[in-house]
Structure 1
Amino acid sequence: MTVHLHKGDLPDDLDLGPVVAVDSETLGLSLVRDALCVVQLSAGDGDAHVVQLDRKTYHCPNLKALLTNERVEKIFHFGRFDIAMFQRDLGVTTRPVFCTKIASKLARTYTDRHGLKDVTRELVGIDLSKQQQSSDWGADELSPAQLDYAASDVLHLHELKNKLTDMLVREGRLALAEACFDFLPTRAKLDLAGWDETDIFAHT
């Protein structure tokens, strides 16, 4: 595994292919308070690209172009949060997307464990470390441990997508999952607009 650190943006000549795993790191989990700091990506080739964003400008045209490229599918785990952060701080709507957490909830109905660590352990046989999850992602310099952690969150998403897609097809739920993925940018907009805890589909 090689982790490539990029300051501010992806390189101009980097081609990550038609399916890219994406995740982000923030200063916390509040869509109102906490800043987007890092975006990590992988082409599924065992390498990871970590973009340490300039939080004063969020000037990253290459990253924004990838996130909005309709010919590139972006794989997330709990994409709802990342997509909302990208809408808020980068000003882009990310699509098309595949969310392994939604796929897991629709396919792995035999369990209530749908976190990335649990899904990766079962389907890929790898035990991810979450030790750096709550570290300071706004630091001027990211530590080797932080870079390795950021990379680990995207390195296995391609394999998870393939295995979960097979399960969704087996259970006849792939079309339902795809409809949920298509709705994610709208779900993110609802979160940002204040409907993050309200089920607008509920009768009450």
Structure 2
Amino acid sequence: MKIHPLITESAALADLCARLAKSEFVAVDTEFMRENTYWPELCLVQIANTEEAAAIDPLAKGIDLKPLFDLLTDNEEVLKVFHAGGQDVEIVYNFTGRTPHPIFDTQIAMMAVSQSEQIGYSNLVESWLGLTIDKGARFTDWSRRPLTERQIEYAIGDVTHLSKIFPRILKKLIKTGRGEWLNVEMEKLADPDNYGNDPSEAWKRIKAPGRNPVVLGRLKALADWREREAQDKNIPRGRIARDETLADIASHPPKKQADLAKVRGLSAGWKDNEIGKRLMSTLENAKPLPDDEMPQRAPRGAPLGKEGALVADLLKLLLKIRAREIDVAARLLARSDDLEALASGIRKNLPLLEGWRFEQFGRDAVELVEGKLAFAVAGGKLKMTHVDDMPETLAENGR
């Protein structure tokens, strides 16, 4: 594979992207910094196909990244391969308002061919290629220039390895017939709605202090205000105020700005500075949360109760058994809240009761709840047995 020198000029980048546009797939990774900023600072982009690989310096003076972003977001003929690519996709979205598509994530794919739920990149490389990744450059400051040869080599390795691993995973998916299992998961990863940063929705990420519409209305207004302050200053939202501080202010709003000095998590300076004045104005203008925005009550079905909780536990045990039997990550088959909903009597709008999930797990889950399945031990291993298939004496004892 040809490894290019660090790309710092627009012409070289355009030429590279023109060649890569003819590939069936490209492996992509990014290096970024976000500890001190609201928006992630893109510091390096690595990209490879089966023939060539390069690192691109987005901080290079005058470089035009448009050919790269066009390749990632507009070219539907080239599959974009990431590993745990959520943050990489977010960065592309922040630059373009679009997401890479079509997309393939090897971390998600591993859930369909093994019991690994969130396999790390180092473990992925070791399991497929038998190589140990040098982790020395992992925590480097990617924004500093110049980059060393070791840093660039480390970074490019992420995509050269990925370009070798992806075809192998794809071959196994085709062999097992599980490729279609991942279609929905990959589309979720590429859904632009996951990456929009609407300040009016920011309050939903904060643990809500009860269900009082007035309190929640204040929380929504405060979270919106904090988001805009952080965006404007390009600093992490937590530098403005922590979630717990906003929730506390929403529940116990200060009567005047001077009282902000008494709020835990705020400095004394807030009692008479401009940001404190803006916070107080936000509180004064906050309106109760409308009924149609009130958070849904949980759980989705009837309360489980003691018996229902036991049924949910049995369903979780069944999930572990089935995941082991077919060598798939349990989380890909079903989520805990869906199992609890099934135990409480819900039968609609549950992913585990649809499509391939129903065939692989959902049908047995329903039969377990309905008393048609039982646990048995065979050869020292726990497995499921249909009640109709059990020996008559065992079935009688179980009644």
Q: Under a length normalisation based on structure 2, what TM-score does the superposition of the two structures give?
A: 0.45
- Please, which runs of 5 or more residues in structure 2 have no aligned partner? 208-294, 300-399
Instruction: Return the match for 2:15 from 13, 29, 52.
Output: 13
Contact 1:27 1:136 in 2 (8 A): yes
Q: Determine which of 60, 78, 88 is the counterpart of 1:72.
A: 78
Equivalent residue number for residue 150 of structure 1: 155
When structure 1 is superposed on structure 2, of 59-68 and 86-95 the one drifting more is: 86-95
What is the alpha-carbon distance in structure 1 between the residues aligned to residue 25 and residue 151 of structure 2? Answer: 24
Q: Which has the higher strand share?
A: 1
The Cα of 1:176 is off from its aligned counterpart by: 1.6
Moved more, 139-148 or 2-11: 2-11
The answer to whether the 8 A contact 1:40-1:154 is kept is: yes
Deviations 1:37-79 (A, max 9, x none): 111001122x421111038888411111111211111110011
Q: Report the RMSD for the aligned CA atoms in angstroms.
A: 3.0
Query: 1:141-189 deviations in whole A, cap 9, x for unaligned?
Result: 1111110111110002122212222333344421021221122122x64
In the alignment, which residue of structure 2 is the partner of 1:190? 194
Q: Is the 8 A contact 1:27 1:34 kept in 2?
A: yes
Change (3 A) 1:11 1:57: closer
Structure 1 unmatched ranges of 5 or more: none
Deviates more, 1:3-12 or 1:59-68: 3-12
Residue in 2 that maps onto 1:168: 173
Aligned residue for 1:133, secondary structure, equals coil
* Contact 1:58-1:89 at 8 Å conserved across structures: no
Q: Equivalents in 2 of 1:25, 1:41: separation in Å?
A: 12
Q: Find out whether 1:131 has 2:136 as its counterpart.
A: yes
Cα 1:128–1:92 shift into 2, 3 Å: same
Using a 3 Å threshold, how does the CA distance of structure 1 residues 180 and 12 change in structure 2: closer, same or farther? same
1:106 corresponds to which residue? 112
Higher Cα radius of gyration: 2
The answer to whether the 8 Å contact 1:36/1:89 transfers is no
Secondary structure in 2 aligned to 1:40?
strand
- TM-score where L is the length of structure 1: 0.83
SS at match of 1:22: strand
Cα pair 1:7 1:51 within 8 Å, conserved: yes
Retained in 2: the 8 A contact 1:20–1:41?
yes
Structure ranking higher in helix proportion: 2
Q: Are the equivalent residues in 1 in contact too, given 2:125–2:132 (CA < 8 A)?
A: yes
Distance 2:46 2:206 in 1: 27
- Count of residue correspondences: 199
Q: Deviations over 1:74-100 (max 9, x none)?
A: 110011110111101344321111111
Which structure is richer in relative contact order (CA contacts within 8 A, separation 6 or more)? 1
